[in-house]
Amino acid sequence: MISYAKSASVRVCTALAVIGSLAVLSPAPPARAGTSPEPGDVVVSEDFGSGSLPVGWRAVDGDWQVKDGRLIGAAASGTKKLTFGPHLTDYRFEATARFDSVAEATRWFALGLDVPASGATPWWIATLRSGSTAANGVEFAQLTTAGSWNVTDTTPAPYAAATGRDVKVRIEVHGHQAAWFLDGRQLMRTNRLQRSADGGLALVVNGSQVSFDDVRVTALGPNGYLRPEGAPAAVIAHRGASSSAPENTLFAQEVGRRSGADFIENDVQLSKDSVPYLMHDTTVDRTTDGTGDIRTLTAAQLDGLDAGSWFSPHFAGARVPTLRAQLADLRQRGGNLLLEVKRADTEDEVAAMIDVVRAENMTGRVFVQSFEPQHLRWVHELAPELPLGLLRSTLDADPVAVAADLHLTSYNPSGAALGTRPGVVADLHEAGVAVMVWTIDSAAQWRTYDEYGVDGIITNRPAELAGWNQARSQAAPAPEPAPEPQAAVTSPAKGAVLDRAQRPVLAVTTEHADPAKVELTLDGERYEAGSTLDLTALKAGEHTLRLTATGPGGTTVTTSTFTVRASRAGLGHLILASAGRQQTVGDLLDCLVRGRYDRLEKLAEKAGERGELPTATAGLIAADARELRAPAA
C-alpha cells in the first residue's frame, strides 16, 4: 500500500485490516478429540503462531525451529525430518513452503505421507526440488529399509520453485493412491504407495533450508475417484491400450501402464469350466485364431489360442489372459483395474470372479462395473468393499436415485448419453458419486467432457489422453487478473466542516496503483497529496476532492467533499493573512470585534477596489462577513 500522509484514520484502518487478517488465518477447529476423524474434519491446522514447535511434533533429526511465524527446517547435508500427526487412510496434506537456501538446485523438501513417528524406514514422501523444472523435479518416492530410494513416479513442474518464493503444495491420498498438486494444479498421480498400519506424517528437508507455514491436514471420504480441484480427469485405458496393442491382453495392459493410465479397463467372462478370462465379445472369433462362444471353451482350449496375430504380426503368440494372470501382473508391476463383468447369470458365476480378486489380494485396486444392475447387486453382497460403477448407454431418469439404490461409487454413461444432460455430473457429485464417461478418443471430445467435470475418461488412446493432460498441467499458469486499484481521500475527512484558521494536510491512500498515475484535484485544480491546504484561498461552501488512481487492473475514481464554514475566528485569520494595508487590516478587525458585519463587508469591497487589499481576498472577506451577518437578518 502507498501512503502519502499519516493520519489517525489510516492507523485505525491498518489496525482493522490486521485484525481481519488474523481472523482469516485463525486455525480451523480440529477434529473431535477421542473419535476417528470424519470426512472434512481438519486433523492438523498449524500456522506456528505460538513461537515454538507444536505439541506432538517430533524433530527426529536436523535443525527445526519456529521463527517469525514459520517452521524452519535446515539440513546442511543429507536428509532431515520432523514427524507429526496420526495415521490416516484418506487425507489431504497441504502446506506453504519456501526454499530459503539450497546447496544446489537438485536439493529438495518433501511432505511425508506414511512415516513412522520414529522416522524409521521404510517411509514414503512427495518431493519438490528447488530446480523443479528438471525431469525429476517432482517425485513420489520410498526410502527402503536398505536405505535406498525407490522412486516410483517423476515429472517436471511448469516453473522452478527456486529460492525466496512461497509455493503451495498439496497431496491428496486415498490408500495406495496419491495425487501431487503445486499451486493448485495437479502435476502427477501414483497408485504405487505401500501403506503401513500406523505411519503418520512428516516434513523432510535435504541439503537445504526450508520454511513452512499453514500446514493443514484434512480427512477425506473414501471415494478417491471424485476429481479434486485442479486435477484432470483420470485416464482409463479401454481394454488396455486397444489402439496400440491387441485388446484385453497383457500387451495392451503394459502399453496402457507405460502410457500413464490411471486404470486398465478390461472385460471378464467365464470359460466352460468356470475360469475367469479377459474377453469382450461373446465369441473368440474376432480377437483370436479360434472360433466359438467362450462359454463353450475350456481353459485349456482358451490357453492355446493366439490373441495377437489378428492385430499385428508383432503380437503373434499373445494369449487370452486369465483374470488371475492379469491381477498378478498389476500387483507386481503396478496399476489399477476397472473390471467389467459380462454374461454372469448367477451369483455363483460372479463369485468365481470375485474369489480371484480376493485370492490375488487386489480388492484395494479393483473397481467393478457392469451394464447389468443385478451383477452389481451380487458384487455388493459378495464384496461390499469393492467400488461399483453402472454402465449406461442412455441416462436414467434419476441417476442419483439409481446410484443410491445400487451403492454406486461411479455412474458411467456413454459420451453421447452424457451430452444430452451434462448437468447430471454436478448432481451426482453433490451426492458423492463420480462420473466416468466412455469411450472418448479425440482431443476435442476430451475438452468437452473435461469441461463437464467428469472424473474419468475411458479411451482407446490412453497415451494421447495422458499427454494431453500433461501438456495442460505443464502450461504456464494463466496470469491472475490484476486487482482493481483502491483509492481513498483520508484528509480532509469526507463531509468535514472546516474554518479558515485550520490547515489540513491533503492525504490519500492507494493500493494496486502506479504512484506516477495517482492524481488529486480540488474543484478541478491539480493538488499534490501531502501538501497543506490553504483555506484562506477558498470560498465558503462545499468543495470537491477527486482522486484518480491507475494501475495494472484499471482506473478507479473516487470523490470526497468538505465544507469551508465562515466563522469569526476564521474571518479574523483571513483578515490577518490578507497582506492588506495596515490601516485597512486594523479597520476590518475593529468591525469584526464589534460585530459590524455589514460595515465590514462594505469596507472590504472598497478596499479591494482601491487596491488596499488583494482583490480575491477582499471578495472572500466580504462574502464571509455577508454569511455571518445573514442569521441576524
- Is 495 part of any domain? yes
CB-CB neighbours of 67 under 10 Å: 10
- Is 3 part of any domain? no
- Is 480 part of any domain? no
Amino acid at 276: P
Same domain, 412 and 534: no
Amino acid at 61: D
Q: What span, in angstroms and rounded, lies between the C-alpha atoms of 62 and 82?
A: 8
pLDDT of residue 476 exceeding 90: no
Question: For the chain, what is the radius of gyration of the CA atoms?
Answer: 38
Of the pLDDT bands very low, low, confident and very high (cuts 50, 70, 90), residue 30 is very low
**What is the pLDDT, as a whole number, of residue 472?**
83
Percent of the chain past pLDDT 90, that is, above it, reads: 83
**What is the pLDDT, as a whole number, of residue 224?**
80
pLDDT of residue 32 exceeding 70: no
Of the pLDDT bands very low, low, confident and very high (cuts 50, 70, 90), residue 482 is confident
Amino acid at 429: H
All three cell numbers of 426: 454436478
Say if residue 492 is preceded by a cis peptide, omega within 30 of 0. yes
- Is 253 part of any domain? yes
Same domain, 191 and 282: no
Q: What span, in angstroms and rounded, lies between the C-alpha atoms of 147 and 149?
A: 7
Centroid of chain to Cα 298: 53
**Mean pLDDT score across all residues of the chain:** 91
- Is 538 part of any domain? yes
Same domain, 140 and 183: yes
- The domain of 342 spans 234-474
Same domain, 152 and 280: no
Which helix (DSSP H) or strand (DSSP E) does residue 515 occupy?
A: none
Can you tell me the mean pLDDT for 520-524? 95
**What is the pLDDT, as a whole number, of residue 631?**
61
Residues that are catalytic: 238, 280
Domain total of the chain:
4
- Is 5 part of any domain? no
- Is 66 part of any domain? yes
Q: What span, in angstroms and rounded, lies between the C-alpha atoms of 18 and 10?
A: 12
Same domain, 245 and 215: no
Match 500413464 to its residue by C-alpha cell: 260
**What is the pLDDT, as a whole number, of residue 558?**
95
pTM, to two decimals: 0.65
Query: Measuring CA to CA, how many Å separate 405 from each of 345, 410, 525?
Result: 21, 12, 74
Q: In this predicted model, what pLDDT tens digit does every residue of 329-343 receive, in sequence order? A: 999 988 899 999 999
Can you tell me the mean pLDDT for 558-585? 92
Say if residue 504 is preceded by a cis peptide, omega within 30 of 0. no
Closest CA to 389 of 433, 450, 336: 433
Select from 190, 219, 248 the last residue of a domain. Answer: 219
All three cell numbers of 627: 454569511
Q: What span, in angstroms and rounded, lies between the C-alpha atoms of 360 and 292?
A: 29
Q: Is the Cβ–Cβ distance between 248 and 232 less than 8 Å?
A: no
Q: Which residues pair with 109 in a beta bridge?
A: 128, 205
Select from 448, 474, 500 the last residue of a domain. Answer: 474
All three cell numbers of 473: 498441467
pLDDT of residue 478 exceeding 70: no
Q: Which residues contact 316 (CB under 8 A, 6 or more apart)?
A: 306, 308, 309
**What is the pLDDT, as a whole number, of residue 477?**
62
Same domain, 313 and 300: yes
Same domain, 608 and 508: no
**String of DSSP letters for 171-219:** EEEETTEEEEEETTEEEEEES-----SS-EEEEEEEEEEEEEEEEEEEE
Q: In this predicted model, what pLDDT tens digit does every residue of 388-444 receive, in sequence order? A: 999 999 999 999 999 999 999 999 999 999 999 999 999 999 999 999 999 999 999
pLDDT of residue 2 exceeding 60: no
pLDDT of residue 5 exceeding 60: no
Closest CA to 205 of 302, 389, 76: 76
Q: Which residues contact 606 (CB under 8 A, 6 or more apart)?
A: none
Same domain, 585 and 518: no
Centroid of chain to Cα 574: 62
The CATH number of whichever domain residue 102 belongs to comes to 2.60.120.560
pLDDT of residue 15 exceeding 70: no
Q: If 0-12 CB within 10 Å is exposed, 13-18 middle and 19+ buried, where does residue 100 land?
A: middle
**Looking at per-residue confidence, does 616 or 36 come out higher?**
616
Can you tell me the mean pLDDT for 312-325? 97
Buried b (16+ CB within 10 A) or exposed e, 529-547: beeebebbebebeebebbb
β 337-341/263-270 pair status = parallel
Same domain, 507 and 369: no
Q: Is the Cβ–Cβ distance between 230 and 186 less than 8 Å?
A: yes
Same domain, 444 and 338: yes
Buried b (16+ CB within 10 A) or exposed e, 156-172: bbbbbbeeeeebebbbb
Can you tell me the mean pLDDT for 154-159? 93
Select from 549, 564, 579 the last residue of a domain. Answer: 564
Same domain, 613 and 520: no
pLDDT of residue 4 exceeding 90: no
Q: In this predicted model, what pLDDT tens digit does every residue of 119-149 receive, in sequence order? A: 999 999 999 999 999 999 999 999 999 999 9
**What is the pLDDT, as a whole number, of residue 448?**
96
Which helix (DSSP H) or strand (DSSP E) does residue 608 occupy?
A: helix 597-610
Can you tell me the mean pLDDT for 604-611? 92
Can you tell me the mean pLDDT for 473-501? 86
Of the pLDDT bands very low, low, confident and very high (cuts 50, 70, 90), residue 470 is confident
Same domain, 179 and 272: no
Q: What span, in angstroms and rounded, lies between the C-alpha atoms of 81 and 75?
A: 9
All three cell numbers of 121: 524406514
Q: In this predicted model, what pLDDT tens digit does every residue of 33-86 receive, in sequence order? A: 446 899 899 999 999 999 999 999 999 998 999 999 999 999 988 999 999 999
Q: What span, in angstroms and rounded, lies between the C-alpha atoms of 178 and 224?
A: 9
pLDDT of residue 176 exceeding 70: yes
Q: What span, in angstroms and rounded, lies between the C-alpha atoms of 279 and 245?
A: 14
Q: What span, in angstroms and rounded, lies between the C-alpha atoms of 325 and 360?
A: 9
- Is 479 part of any domain? no
How many residues are there in the chain?
A: 633
Of the pLDDT bands very low, low, confident and very high (cuts 50, 70, 90), residue 266 is very high
